[in-house]
Structure 1
Amino acid sequence: MNEVIKAIYERRSVRDFTAEPVPREHIMEILKAGSWAPSGLNNQPWRFAIVTDPALKEKFEPLTKYTRIIKSAQCLLPVFISKSKMYHETKDHQAIGACLQNMLLCAHSLGLGAVWLGEILKSGDEVRKLLGLSEDLELMAVIALGWPKNRDQKSRRIPLEELIVFDN
């Protein structure tokens, strides 16, 4: 099995992290991987924030029901869409999904654990204001990142035969 397929099948959402800091080079590699996602007209509508300061990270805790994950993560990567860079809402939101998947796969390839937090979107304006960012940026997700406490996450999938709705 090639490395890309192996990474897709082995990557899991990690929600518990050690206290070991994430090297800046790893964070930058993850952001670079996100920036290489496909986007319509190559408009690259994603924008990133990096939150590693414990005091700032703590301010994210009341903005989500996943406080425990925020506390445990050594780095938060809020991902925004630049509304001024968008040209087609659906395509641009799909591009953000590809960006996030690239970031998660990159984190996995570096031995890190990560989870895509979407529930925090209900507090998107508060996140943007907390970071002092313009209204042009809309929160799409926060990736919580760190070294996994354990690597025994399990997952299951619906059988492929149940997912195929047409085959000719």
Structure 2
Amino acid sequence: MTKSNPILDALRERRSIRKFTNDPVEREDLKAILDAGRWAPSGLNNQPYRFLVIYDDDARVEALAECTKYGHIAKAAKVLICIFLDKQSMYSEMKDHQGAGACTQNMMLAAHSLGLGTVWLGEIINQQDQVLEKLKLPADRYELQVVLALGHPDQKGSSKRNELSEYMLEDF
């Protein structure tokens, strides 16, 4: 039996949160979340991640909401964190995409550790050109990876997982 471990506990306890209270997200908490993202592993330590923070009173929230079928979640969040890859800093498309996933997970776990909730809005990348245009970011420079909706949870998340044996190609 595994002893209690704060990292393993956070991995098991973190859930996607799609409803948020009206309480603001403290700037120091937001900074800690962004800082966790920059500490994600990246191939050759190239750190190609770039972040854009959009608060709920920013007109760009409505513009982003129009780019996804999950617009109601984007509008409910107190903060949206857009995570991009800087194409000028990339060296391996696959490794950099994997790194962006690690960056996103770091941010979500950091938010959870601070009592905040997040949900990964991935479907929005299907409208990447529209998003970049609305945010006035050059498509030849930035590649949208994810938009994180962030705030104080107004719901309990839930999830279930298959048994570990269902993932294994061989017994270990």
Give TM class, smaller chain: over 0.9
1:124 aligns with 2:98: no
Q: Structure 2: how far apart are the matches of 1:19 and 1:125? A: 31
Aligned to 2:5: 2
Counterpart of 1:19 (choices 18, 22, 39) is 22
In 2, distance between residues paired with 1:70 and 1:142?
Answer: 9
- Is 1:64 matched up with 2:68? yes
**Identity fraction in percent:** 50
Work out which of the residue numbers 105, 114, 135 in structure 2 matches 1:110: 114
Amino acid paired to 1:36:
W
Secondary structure (helix, strand or coil) at the match of 1:84 reads: coil
* Superposed displacement of residue 127, structure 1: 1.7
How far did 1:146 drift?
Answer: 0.5
- My pick for the range that moved more, 115-124 or 131-140, is 131-140
| TM-score normalised by the chain length of structure 1 | 0.95
Note if 1:137 corresponds to 2:153: no
Equivalent in 19, 25, 49 of residue 52 of structure 2: 49
**Secondary structure, counterpart of 1:164 in structure 2:** coil
1:50 is paired with a residue of what secondary structure?
strand
Q: In the alignment, is residue 153 of structure 1 matched against residue 157 of structure 2?
A: yes
* Separation in structure 1 between the aligned mates of residue 132 and residue 26 of structure 2, nearest angstrom: 24
Deviation track 1:20-73 (CA, whole Å, cap 9, x = no partner) reads 111111111111100000001000011000000342212211110001101110
> Take 1:143 and 1:130, find their aligned partners in 2: how far apart are those partners?
17
Task: Specify the SS of the correspondent of 2:115.
Answer: coil
* CA distances 1:89-129 after superposition (whole Å, capped 9, x unpaired): 11111000000000000000010000011000012122222
Tell me the distance in 2 between the aligned counterparts of 1:73 and 1:48.
17
* TM-score, scaled relative to structure 2: 0.93
The whole-number CA distance in structure 2 between the counterparts of 1:129 and 1:49 is 14
Please tell me the residue identity of whatever aligns with 1:3. P
- Residue 59 of structure 2 aligns to a residue whose secondary structure is helix
Q: Within 5 Å, give how 1:25-40 maps onto structure 2.
A: 25-40=28-43
Partner-residue secondary structure (3-state), 1:59: helix
What is the aligned residue count?
167
What SS does structure 1 have at the residue aligned with 2:41?
coil
For 1:142, what is the secondary structure of its paired residue? strand
Point out where structure 1 has 5 or more consecutive residues left out of the alignment: none
Q: Which residue of 2 aligns with 1:73?
A: 77
Misfit runs of 4+, over 3 Å: none
Distance 1:47 1:128 in 2: 13
Q: How far off is 1:131 after superposition? A: 2.0
